[in-house]
Amino acid sequence: MILGDEMKRILFASLAVVAFASGTAFAADLPAPAPVFKAPPPPAPTWTGCFIAGGGGWGLWNQDITATVAGVPAAAKFTTGGNGWFGTAQAGCDYQIDRVVIGAFGDYDADGLNSTISFPNGSAANENEHWSWSAGGRIGWLAFPKLLTYASGGYTQAQFGQLSYFNAATGAPFASTSPANTYTGWFIGTGYEYALDSLPFGLPLPAGLFWKTEFRYSTYSTASLPVLNGAGVPTAFGINADKQIETIRSELVWRFNWTGPGVFRY
């Protein structure tokens, strides 16, 4: 039997509906595609955070000395000084505001600075700095994302050891001494800090390592030191000492929260 045109259209429409329904049912039976997760971008490096550091340096110190009798200057003031190496350890925290970094820190120096003081009367004494510590703040400017230039300042103390007097010409010791003393004062400094990416030949480094170098000038209050006899009893003699210390120090810094090279949010 030959179908009419109307019957053909009805048959084709029915077949299309059946095919669509079958395809939908088949697609419903397929498993859903697994979700695709994208890792979040790494956080931009920031100087905000805390750090520890260790290193060393070289120092030069000068002092103005005046000999006294019964507390009254008995001779003209003269200048002497010394130098030496030292080791240092530091801890602190910084906070970044745009391209400005402000922070606070404290450090301790184990000193090897020493000197021989030659007095106008022919006597002399050896003097060594044992230790010093400083606490203060700094403010800096990020010249580049990984390079901070800064100025620092704060409070400091330094201990110098006992002076043992001797004959400058012969080296023969005298029985007299002056006691060790802890000097108090303030300091100012300037320096730079730079983020390290790799060692020579492209060897990688752990994130968070920096190199810091700083020049620092410290000045201390005048100390009046008695001259003691062999029995440790103060005599009428003494010295007034004004000390200033200049140091250049370099340290390897580790920042706890540094995430590595990246783009700063300027």
| CA–CA separation, 37 and 142 (whole Å) | 36
Q: Could you report the per-residue pLDDT of 105-124, keeping only the tens digit for each?
A: 999 999 878 888 888 888 99
Residue 244 in this model has a pLDDT that exceeds 90: yes
How many folded domains does the chain comprise? 1
Structural domain includes residue 44: no
Structural domain includes residue 14: no
Structural domain includes residue 198: yes
Mean pLDDT of 149-165: 96
The whole-number pLDDT of residue 197 equals: 76
Structural domain includes residue 8: no
Structural domain includes residue 27: no
Structural domain includes residue 39: no
The whole-number pLDDT of residue 261 equals: 47
- Kindly report the CATH number assigned to the domain that includes residue 108: 2.40.160.20
The whole-number pLDDT of residue 16 equals: 53
Look up the domain containing 222 and give its range: 49-255
Confidence of residue 90 (pLDDT cuts 50, 70, 90): very high
Structural domain includes residue 4: no
Torsion sign across C-alpha atoms 99, 103, 109, 114: positive
| CA–CA separation, 81 and 245 (whole Å) | 9
Structural domain includes residue 234: yes
CA nearest neighbour of 112 among 83, 90, 88, 134 = 83
Contact 100, 89 (CB under 8 A): no
The whole-number pLDDT of residue 262 equals: 40
Residue 246 in this model has a pLDDT that exceeds 90: yes
Residue-by-residue DSSP string for 107-165 = EEEEE--EEEEE-TTSEEEEEEEEEEEEEEEEEEEEEETTEEEEEEEEEEEEEE--EEE
3-state helix, strand, coil in the chain (%, to 5): 10, 60, 30
| CA–CA separation, 52 and 91 (whole Å) | 4
